């Protein structure tokens, strides 16, 4: 590619030298770069394509990094990365050791906070604004937030505070009517109303203009037009000004792909002395046909063929855990009318699309609102239903309190289907499901299952629905193990593990996906003359005390789990050993006290010493071999 404007942009201040036409050319180049790179790396294509002009317009007016540009979720910020000195390494996007898919302060001084989880940008923005006010300085604070992220509880709480605090800041609402799938909720309807009424206002104003300038129609008609305008104002304003009622000035919706209009509007409000919301209407995926046509697919996409938009499928030996869960839940729901499935804006990601299709009345998309989703589940359970709440491990962190107080304390029948448990890969530290073992097992009344393969997953769901009470089932992202799935899954016995392999030199007590790795370790060890017993512990809570007692009779006990060691299942085993006064050396393997970076899951597990080789090495070290 010759003579690209992009290649001479080393910092956002370079954008100030460009005309509107040049900025529009740059937007095209950025789109081409995003599509080229993500076709190899995968990534959040549709949201990033939709936010290019917003980012260029904002950066061309702001003086970052002194001024602050904050991104909600951060999945739309690729253009920001490209104009803040990272285009040279942009082809490493989401790769091991490469550029993060989200804003990351340790990567660039232009990245304000580690984005990844939705709806937190406004709180951060207000915090920055209050800190600025206390300092007595005048930097500009701008937050970019999507229409779906704005519906999250944290964003609502922040709006409530922003309206009261009246600290100057600009909120750019990037309204594309989409979450990952179609956006939901009353706020989304309200935004639609604002868009529609603004279109109405434009038409009405232009009609009025024509009427007023037309001698042919005469004054009487013009006055009629004016009267109509006044009466419509009363109709339009009270219903559309939710933000203004909260004390936040709000612009009429504008086209978020029109750089001159964006720049003009932002220039008008950027030196505001009150909070202002700029309502920007965009199209998710704009500039790339396949992404425009299928924004859900191109929200977060694997590598794809640019010409056709077809996702490059890796050969797989097994279905994904998510799709196994999806089918198992549909099968359970066919026999039990009380089952209700709940997602927090992740219908496709959590595999609930088929359920939603088959049982629309028993499916709830709560929006990006994990706390609410879990609270709602509790209400449904009190009302006699059996809610199954499917949420990614990392996002369920948001609903920790609701799990404890609303669900576990009253011992309600709620099943938490915790998808993306453990290392998830390219999304990196904000998305790894490292904490769910710790945060579920500490909750009284909660039972926790960690299936080690797809057959175990179907049995786990059957067990949870049959046994009742608060139940968590954790399973990982990606391909399952390729074992046969029972057509009639048999429920488990409470707190009973499964012996996978016998051995007398050490016992490896493994949880979930780590069972396969432990078996691999046992094979490596066997080749060196060390016989390790491998136990699929199945239950994180209650732990199988018998299996632990038997393990304590061997020279070494090793636990392996795909989450944090601190507070994890291994520490539960240590507790059992202590209670038994067992005098046996024990090692807990898992994720040490650190966040885990991005990259291919197998690579990250290897780094963590949680592949077969790593586990075998730890066993040998502990045995002094």
Ligand X SMILES: Cc1ncc(C[n+]2csc(CCOP(=O)(O)OP(=O)(O)O)c2C)c(N)n1
Q: By CB under 6 A, name the one of 424, 446, 596, 604 that touches ligand DXP.
A: 424
Rule CB under 6 A: is residue 568 a binding residue for ligand DXP? no
44 vs 140, beta carbon nearer ligand DXP: 44
3-state secondary structure 470-481: CEEEECCCCECC
Sites for ligand X among residues 143-162 (CB under 6 A): 146-149
178 vs 532, beta carbon nearer ligand X: 178
Please report how close the Cβ of residue 115 comes to ligand X at its closest, in angstroms: 9
Is 149 flagged in the annotation as binding? yes
CA distance 614 to 609: 4
Helices (H), 397-488: 400-401, 436-441, 454-467
Please report how close the Cβ of residue 214 comes to ligand X at its closest, in angstroms: 42
Q: Can 362 be counted among the known catalytic residues?
A: no
76 vs 413, beta carbon nearer Mg ion: 76
Residue of 487, 473, 489, 410 whose CA lies nearest to 436: 473
531 Cβ neighbours under 8 A, 6+ residues apart: 502, 503, 504, 505, 522, 525
Count of all residues that appear for the chain in the document: 625
Structural contact between residues 159 and 243, judged by C-beta atoms closer than 8 angstroms:
yes
The residue annotated as part of the active site, out of 398, 441, 462, 538, is 398
263 vs 477, beta carbon nearer ligand DXP: 477
Q: By CB under 6 A, name the one of 47, 123, 240, 458 that touches ligand X.
A: 47
Q: Can 398 be counted among the known catalytic residues?
A: yes
CA distance 16 to 28: 18
Which of Mg ion, ligand DXP, ligand X, none sits in contact with 50, Cβ below 5 to 8 A by type? ligand X
Is there a cis peptide before residue 542, judged by omega within 30 degrees of 0? yes
Give the Cα-Cα-Cα angle 232, 233, 236 (nearest 5 degrees). 80
Residue of 381, 561, 367, 574 whose CA lies nearest to 471: 381
Q: Can 370 be counted among the known catalytic residues?
A: yes
Please report how close the Cβ of residue 51 comes to Mg ion at its closest, in angstroms: 10
Show the beta-strand stretches assigned E in 54-189. Answer: 68-71, 141-146, 169-175
Please report how close the Cβ of residue 405 comes to ligand DXP at its closest, in angstroms: 26
Given the rule CB under 6 A, which of 120-128, 211-219, 248-256, 420-428 is the region that contacts ligand DXP?
420-428
Is 338 flagged in the annotation as binding? no
Rule CB under 6 A: is residue 69 a binding residue for ligand DXP? no
**Residues 109-138, mask of contacts with ligand X (x by CB under 6 A):** --------xx--------------------
178 vs 438, beta carbon nearer ligand X: 178
Is there a cis peptide before residue 65, judged by omega within 30 degrees of 0? yes
Residue of 11, 6, 38 whose CA lies nearest to 24: 6
The residue annotated as part of the active site, out of 332, 370, 454, 571, is 370
Question: Across-strand partners of 604?
Answer: none
Given the rule CB under 5 A, which of 138-146, 308-316, 318-326, 537-545 is the region that contacts Mg ion?
138-146
The DSSP code sequence of 222-252 is HHHHHHHHHHHHHHHHHHH-HHHHTT-EEPP
Please tell me the chain's helix, strand, coil percentages from 3-state DSSP, rounded to the nearest 5. Answer: 45, 15, 40
Q: How far is CA 509 from the centre of its chain?
A: 31
Residue of 541, 543, 523, 540 whose CA lies nearest to 531: 523
Rule CB under 6 A: is residue 368 a binding residue for ligand X? yes
Torsions phi, psi for 202 (to 5 deg): -60, -45
Is 288 flagged in the annotation as binding? yes
Residue 186 DSSP SS3: helix
Given the rule CB under 6 A, which of 257-265, 344-352, 403-411, 569-577 is the region that contacts ligand X?
344-352
Rule CB under 6 A: is residue 50 a binding residue for ligand X? yes
Rule CB under 6 A: is residue 427 a binding residue for ligand DXP? yes
Count residues binding Mg ion (CB under 5 A). Answer: 5
3-state secondary structure 540-557: EECCCHHHHHHHCCCCCE
Structural contact between residues 172 and 144, judged by C-beta atoms closer than 8 angstroms:
yes
Please report how close the Cβ of residue 349 comes to ligand X at its closest, in angstroms: 7
Which of Mg ion, ligand X, ligand DXP, none sits in contact with 524, Cβ below 5 to 8 A by type? none
The residue annotated as part of the active site, out of 284, 362, 447, 538, is 284
Catalytic residues, by residue number, are 284, 370, 398
Residues of the shown chain interacting with ligand X in the complex, contacts defined by CB under 6 A:
47, 50, 73, 75-76, 117-118, 146-149, 174, 176, 178-180, 284, 344-346, 368, 370, 395, 398
Residues of the shown chain interacting with ligand DXP in the complex, contacts defined by CB under 6 A:
44, 73, 75, 299-300, 349, 420, 424, 427, 477
The annotation places the binding site for thiamine diphosphate at 75, 116-118, 148-149, 176, 288, 370
């Amino acid at each position: 590619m010759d003579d690209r404007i992009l290649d001479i942009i080393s910092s956002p201040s370079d954008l100030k030298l460009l005309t509107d036409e040049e900025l529009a050319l740059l937007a095209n180049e950025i789109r081409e770069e995003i599509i080229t790179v993500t076709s190899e790396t995968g990534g959040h294509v549709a949201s990033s394509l939709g936010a290019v002009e917003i980012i260029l317009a904002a950066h061309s007016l702001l003086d970052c990094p002194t001024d602050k540009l904050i991104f909600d979720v951060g999945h739309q910020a690729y253009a920001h990365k490209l104009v803040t000195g990272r285009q040279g390494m942009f082809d490493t996007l989401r790769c091991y050791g490469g550029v993060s898919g989200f804003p990351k302060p340790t990567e660039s001084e232009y990245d304000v906070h580690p984005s990844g989880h939705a709806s937190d940008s406004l709180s951060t923005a207000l915090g920055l604004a209050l800190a600025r006010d206390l300092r007595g300085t005048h930097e500009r604070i701008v937050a970019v937030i999507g229409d779906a992220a704005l519906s999250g509880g944290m964003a609502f709480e922040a709006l409530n505070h922003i309206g009261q605090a009246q600290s100057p800041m600009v909120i750019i609402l990037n309204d594309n009517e989409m979450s990952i799938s179609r956006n939901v909720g009353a706020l989304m309807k309200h935004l639609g109303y604002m868009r529609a009424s603004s279109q109405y206002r434009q038409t009405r104003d232009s009609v009025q203009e024509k009427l007023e300038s037309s001698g042919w129609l005469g004054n009487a008609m013009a006055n009629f037009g004016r009267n109509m305008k006044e009466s419509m104002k009363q109709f339009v304003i009270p219903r559309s000004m939710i933000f203004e009622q909260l004390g936040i000035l709000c612009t009429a919706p504008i086209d978020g792909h029109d750089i001159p209009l964006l720049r003009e509007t932002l220039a008008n409000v950027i030196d505001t002395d009150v909070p202002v919301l700029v309502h920007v209407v965009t199209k998710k995926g704009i500039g790339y046909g396949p992404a425009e046509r299928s924004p859900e697919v191109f929200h977060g996409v694997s590598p794809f063929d640019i010409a056709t938009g077809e996702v490059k499928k890796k050969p797989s030996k097994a279905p994904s855990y998510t799709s196994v869960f999806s089918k198992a839940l549909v099968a359970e729901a066919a026999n039990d009318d009380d089952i209700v499935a709940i997602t927090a804006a992740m219908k496709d990601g959590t595999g609930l699309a088929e359920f939603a299709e088959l049982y629309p009345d028993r499916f709830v998309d709560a929006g990006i609102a994990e706390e609410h989703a879990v609270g709602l589940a509790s209400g449904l359970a009190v009302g006699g239903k059996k809610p199954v709440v499917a949420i990614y491990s990392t996002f369920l962190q948001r609903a920790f309190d609701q799990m404890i107080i609303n669900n576990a304390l009253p011992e309600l029948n709620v099943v938490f289907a915790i998808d993306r448990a453990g290392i998830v890969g390219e999304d990196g530290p904000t998305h790894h499901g490292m904490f769910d073992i710790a945060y579920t097992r500490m909750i009284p009344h909660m039972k926790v299952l960690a299936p080690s393969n797809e057959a175990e997953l179907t049995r786990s769901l059957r067990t949870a629905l049959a046994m009742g009470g608060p139940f968590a089932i954790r399973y990982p992202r990606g391909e399952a193990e390729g074992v046969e799935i029972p057509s009639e899954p048999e429920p488990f016995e409470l707190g009973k593990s499964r012996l996978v392999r016998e051995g007398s030199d050490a016992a490896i007590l493994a949880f979930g996906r780590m069972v396969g790795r432990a078996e691999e370790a046992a094979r490596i060890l066997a080749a060196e003359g060390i016989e390790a017993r491998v136990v699929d512990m199945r239950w994180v809570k209650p732990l199988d005390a018998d299996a632990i007692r038997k393990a304590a009779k061997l020279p070494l006990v090793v636990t392996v789990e795909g989450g944090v060691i601190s507070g994890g299942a291994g520490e539960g085993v240590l507790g059992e050993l202590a209670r038994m006064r067992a005098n046996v050396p024990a090692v807990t393997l898992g994720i040490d006290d650190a966040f885990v970076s991005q990259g291919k899951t197998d690579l990250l597990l290897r780094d963590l010493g949680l592949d077969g080789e790593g586990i075998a090495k730890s066993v040998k070290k502990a045995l002094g071999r």
